[in-house]
Amino acid sequence: MRIEDEDEQRRLPVHHLVGLAAGGVFGSGWLVGAQKAYEQAGSSAWLAWLVGGGLMLVVAWVMVELSSAAPKTGGLIFLPLQSSGPLVATVIAAGLWIFYAINSASEALAMTQGLSWKVSGLLVDHRLTLVGWGYTLVFMMLICAVNLIAPRLLFRFSTALTLAKVAVPVLAVVLLLTHGVQPGILPSAADPRGHGGSAVLAAVVNSGVIYAYVGFQAPLELAGNVKRRGIGEAARLRWAVFGTIVGSTALYIALQVVFDRFQTHWQPLGFPSRQAVDGPESPFVDFAFAADLNVLGWLLRIDAVASPFGAGVVFGQAVTREVAALSRAHLTHRGLQSARRASLRQRYDVYWLILLADFFIGAIVLWLAGGSWAPLTAVTGVLTLIIYAFPGVVLVSLRSKLGRHSSRRRTVHEGLARVSFTLIALILYGAGWASMWRAMASLAGGSALLLVLPVLSRRLPFLGRIYDAKEHVTLLRHWRTSAAARAAIWLTAYLAALMLLTLLGNSSVGTHQEFAVGVLVAALALGAFEILVRTSRQHVGQEAPLLPTPTPAPNLTK
């Protein structure tokens, strides 16, 4: 039995899938995202959460359709490999690996921030001190260690922790909205004006909005493990992913309403403006204690550590599956694909090499970010959108290989794929140059490393003994005849052009110029989508894809 077949024998029910999706979404983003969004978009901040949730719903629709038609664990790397070739898959894999490594580091950093009210000297000017670095690295080790336990126990633990950590923000919304403002003490005050549509778009990425939604894809990355009996794997994926996005959008908007209400009346209560507070805690903790909801305040403090820890565990579980798929395709070291059956006695045998590599990558990126949370979330937001954009290309280019569907359903899904790709380009443009260049530099560095290491391992015997992967970069020599090489070239050209337009838009003076550049971005995205689909179809014609077969949907009319 092949390793991937053995690993996909485990069948996950709906509640475990929801635990993975919600566990990944509800991490550290909601704790500070409301304040960051308010600082950028003012009273329009709730629109940032609505736009982010709507965007994620469109993107998720495309991703769920693809994962349902070709259910494969590690599909975010495996499926682009089948549609567009190893070079494009390497670029997607580099972004995905860096994204997960950054998430592990950022969640551990958020746990350190959650403890800073109790342990002094962890942060100075929102950056880690030497002691803070020690705590963060220990938390990163803890996240990796938990992912070494038996998968069945891990899924149960993750689901239970998700239920507990989601209950806290729900309770906070209910109690703060009903007890937060005391009539007669607080004068009526108008909310500060919004800062415009461009500020809302910037807040979607730069304030941690997209970061807060990241994680819903965890069930899709385990699509090969979904339970097939009963309603079927496709229905279970839809319930888990769509339910998580809709529920989190409603909760995030409610939390933003709570923040706006307390921010407006913060000074009448005798406190300085939240924008002037230089404290490490979530603003909701301050609000709870100000409203004499002491029990809620302590629950929020506990959740400030538990929420990012739970999300980090989910990300750690997902990265092992994706990197294992990368290894099986020989796009990275082949030794990373092994996974033995886990038990309490053999808990160190589950993808431990991947977790170890993830730890070091996360630590390096955290060091490059200066031990600060904000740059990590901005880069993560951009990388996430790039990764989420490509399933639309895969869905359309592989449509003829994914089973028969009605013409109406096919038209709707292909239209959603194009809309998703274009919306993502516009959000990236709205994120701004500062976030864009950092993320693109990370993506370029990771891609170059994955492509160059096989060449170096062939030329350097000592490296070849510890690193074993195929050389795919040589495909670029045959770009005239290799569709896989052309697909990678077109993807690189599209990302480069998007960067230039983002720089041009940031340099423009006046909203008319920014709008005109935005139109160019939309046109660029639509054109690039069609070219990538055409080139990917050419690759599929040159090399037939190997796609898993989904379980037929149950006949409910019987």
Q: Where are the alpha helices (DSSP H) in 207-344?
A: 209-213, 218-221, 233-264, 283-290, 294-328
Instruction: Tokens for 420, please give them.
Output: 């998703």
Q: What is the pLDDT of residue 187?
A: 36
Q: What is the pLDDT of residue 277?
A: 40
Q: What is the pLDDT of residue 74?
A: 84
Q: What is the pLDDT of residue 378?
A: 78
Contact 263, 284 (CB under 8 A): no
CB-count burial class (<10 Å; 0-12, 13-18, 19+) for 216: buried
Residue 17 covered by a domain: yes
The 3 state secondary structure assigned to 137-162 is HHHHHHHHHHCCCCHHHHHHHHHHHH
As averages over each run of 10 residues, the pLDDT of the chain (558 residues) reads 48 83 81 81 87 90 90 88 95 91 88 88 87 95 86 82 90 85 39 62 75 83 80 86 93 90 60 45 84 90 90 85 82 73 44 83 89 82 89 92 76 92 89 87 93 90 84 91 96 96 75 80 97 96 85 53
Contact 147, 317 (CB under 8 A): yes
Contact 204, 65 (CB under 8 A): no
CB-count burial class (<10 Å; 0-12, 13-18, 19+) for 555: exposed
Residue 238 covered by a domain: yes
Q: What is the pLDDT of residue 208?
A: 72
The 3 state secondary structure assigned to 507-542 is HCCCHHHHHHHHHHHHHHHHHHHHHHHHHHHHHHHH
Q: What is the pLDDT of residue 319?
A: 83
Residue 547 covered by a domain: no
Backbone angles phi, psi at 222, to 5 degrees: -115, 30
Q: Structural domain tally of the chain?
A: 1
Q: What is the pLDDT of residue 31?
A: 75
Phi-psi sector, 196: left (phi>0), alpha (psi -120 to 50), beta:
left
> Going by C-beta distance under 8 Å and a sequence separation of 6 or more, which residues neighbour residue 99?
214, 380, 383, 384, 387
Q: What is the pLDDT of residue 459?
A: 87
Position 278: which residue type?
A: D
Measured in whole angstroms, the distance separating CA 340 from the mean position of its chain's CA atoms is 27
Nearest residue to 52 via CA among 157, 208, 209: 209
Residue 332 covered by a domain: yes
Residue 180 covered by a domain: yes
Q: What is the pLDDT of residue 556?
A: 44
Its domain, for residue 504, covers: 3-542
Instruction: Tokens for 133, please give them.
Output: 């670095």
As a whole number of angstroms, the distance between CA 172 and CA 496 comes to 43
Backbone angles phi, psi at 137, to 5 degrees: -65, -35
Contact 125, 482 (CB under 8 A): no
* Domain CATH number, residue 42: 1.20.1740.10
Residue 59 covered by a domain: yes
Residue 287 covered by a domain: yes
Residue 548 covered by a domain: no
DSSP state string for 420-489: HHHHHHHHHHHH-HHHHHHHHHHHHHHHHHHHHHHHHHHH-HHHHTT------GGGGGGTTT-HHHHHHH
According to DSSP, the β-strands at 123-124 and 127-128 are antiparallel
Beta bridge partners of 123: 128
